[in-house]
Structure 1
Amino acid sequence: MKLIPWSCFDEIEAYTTCAYDENHQPMNMSYHGDDDALVLKNRQALAQLLNTDLNHMVATFQKHTTNFIEVTANDGGRGMLSREDAFDNYDAMYTRDPELWLWTFHADCCPVLLYCRDQKIVAAIHSGWKGTVGEIVGKVTKHLIENEHCDCQHIYAYIGPSIDQRNFEAKDDIIDLVKQMSFDTSSFYTKKEDGAYLLNSKGLIKKQLELLGVPQTNITISPYCTIENNDLFFSYRKEKTNHRNITLIKLKQPQK
């Protein structure tokens, strides 16, 4: 199993899973419309690779909302054996508890990870176009600043593998919502000759972070596009697949 790391600081670990193993077998991580036993096997293999178990991992049942939730070590294992016990209707999680892996599923949508270094908080966010226009990343970040006392100068962000602007065609229904966001978005879409637009979703997410005071130097944007790099990632737009990659993060146990 291949993992693409976000190398930020030694006190966290973060990766994106790749779509296929060395034998080109799909490493789907989502129970959505697939063989549940195979998905569970893939999840167990991932846990073993990361020297942990499924009781130290947690997932939500994502529904393109802007809802988020704080989770703790007591929530470990939720959403791992099935979707029935996952936190329903949440698209982001954060925790202060070490050794708890937070998952976010994606196949073109933007996975976003946050690390608040001063407060030792990690977050995993699913930002599809609905979450992006709803400013889920900004909402989570603002909550961490205002309610968890995170200093914006010490927040680090990773915008993971997702669809790039050159491949993200959107029509007026989406662009009309983009225009209603809380900041000037005109530089984040360009109109094509056929009347459709190319939308810079990663840029819209980055702007949400910057407007809350997160330094540009603290924001890492993955160079991978899930449409173009579909040898590495599942792409819903290209393949209409139910398969999903995950991007995940944990805070390490402090060294004694």
Structure 2
Amino acid sequence: MPRTAVTFIHETDSIVPSLVFLPPEKEERFFIRIFLRSGKMDLALGNPMASRKSLHELFPVTGPLVAPQQVHGTSVVKAAPGNAIPERPKADGVLISDPGVEGSLRFADCFPVVMASAVPSPWIAILHSGYKGTVLDITGKTCESLFRKEGADPSRTWAWIGPGIGKKHYFRKMGEEWTTEGLRSFFPGCSRIEGENAFFDLGGEIRQRLLAGGLKEDNICSIPLCTFHNNDVCYSYRNGDRENRLFLLAWLR
């Protein structure tokens, strides 16, 4: 029986455990996985090409790899040969609209945000949304670009959020400029103050930005893993992982 909802599978029986993001239609056209803590990812030390090479036996390379230099901004580059390694354009998102080029991003507490659709033709957008990227609204700005300029249909778009650091573990000092900006701009219920610290629900805020961008609630899937708390499965910068990164890899078939 075909699926009718956006979902994911946690594959733990592989030498490289991963989360497989599954769209409800034309699943065979999409490859979207985030590779979790493992010996192979440990050895890659967050290097995108080393991470990709370590996966080649399991998932043969389908084309050049786009792996932008992530700068906690809102720029999104297209998955095109001119943006592929050895080029490393500064960006925090990759838009994949054609087969033959792979897109990738890396994470260790910041949130992966994936959007995809089969309409008007298959496409995938992968985003890196940490605290600053969430405050700057990389998700909302990408929605605006996709739906107003690229002709995508928000009602037929699916999204996945996470895994990233949970709201119980992400906090910033009160009085800092970026803290103040987050308290000002986040949706109600996505921040709280405890003493000298402000806690932020990044995943919840990203969901609100997707809804504001036009996505349907039922088309958004939040991954129930906290990178800080589930540090046996994920890498977490705040929990001591200074170099290793989760590796998000996507392409169209």
* TM score, norm. by length of structure 1: 0.83
Q: Deviations over 1:156-183 (max 9, x none)?
A: 11112110101111223233111343xx
Specify the alignment match of 2:79 in structure 1: 71
> What residue identity is the alignment partner of 1:45?
S
Deviation at 1:131, TM superposition (A): 0.4
Task: Give a deviation string over 1:82-121, Cα, whole Å, max 9, x none.
Answer: 6xx212x211110211243211111000011110321322
Q: Which of 143, 168, 174 is the matching residue for 1:166?
A: 168
The C-alpha deviation readout for 1:19-74, integer Å capped at 9, x for no partner, is 213xx87253523xxxxxxx755421213311225x432110111111112232x3
8 Å Cα contact 2:102/2:250 also seen in 1: yes
Which residue is equivalent to 1:196? Answer: 197
Shift of 1:75: 3.9
Alignment correspondent of 1:26: 42
Greater CA drift, 98-107 or 154-163: 98-107
Q: Secondary structure of the residue that 1:228 maps to in structure 2?
A: coil
Write the letter of the residue equivalent to 1:149. G
**1-structure distance, mates of 2:202, 2:160:** 14
Structure 1 residue 48 corresponds to structure 2 residue 47: no
How far apart in 2 are the matches of 1:220 and 1:248? 18
RMSD of aligned residue pairs (Cα, Å): 2.0
Give the 5 Å matches for 1:100-249: 100-119=101-120, 120-172=122-174, 173=176, 174-181=178-185, 185-192=187-194, 194-249=195-250
Moved more, 122-131 or 241-250: 241-250
Measure the CA separation in 2 of the matches of 1:197 and 1:186: 13
State the percentage of identical aligned residues: 23
Q: Deviations over 1:3-24 (max 9, x none)?
A: 2211224121211111213xx8
Post-superposition shift, 1:240? 4.7
Residues 165 and 147 from structure 1, CA distance in 2 versus in 1: closer, same or farther, beyond 3 angstroms?
same
Q: Partners in 1 of 2:65 and 2:73 — Cα distance?
A: 21
1:36 is aligned to none
Shift of the 107–152 alpha-carbon distance from structure 1 to 2, 3 Å rule, reads same
Contiguous gaps of at least 5 residues in structure 1? 32-38
**Structure 2-normalised TM-score?**
0.84
User: Would you say 1:13 and 2:31 are equivalent positions?
Assistant: yes
Deviations 1:166-224 (A, max 9, x none): 1111223233111343xx623111222x3312210001111111011100111111111
How has the CA–CA distance of structure 1 residues 178 and 4 changed in structure 2, closer, same or farther, with 3 Å as cutoff? Answer: same
What secondary structure is seen at the aligned counterpart in 2 of 1:250?
strand
SS in 2 for 1:233: coil
- Alignment length, in residue pairs? 232
Contact 1:110–1:127 (Cα < 8 Å) also in 2: yes
Structure 2 CA distance for partners of 1:143 and 1:207, relative to 1, 3 Å? same
Distance 2:153 2:50 in 1: 40
Counterpart AA for 2:37 = A
Asked if structure 1 preserves the Cα contact closer than 8 Å seen for 2:41 and 2:246, the reply is no
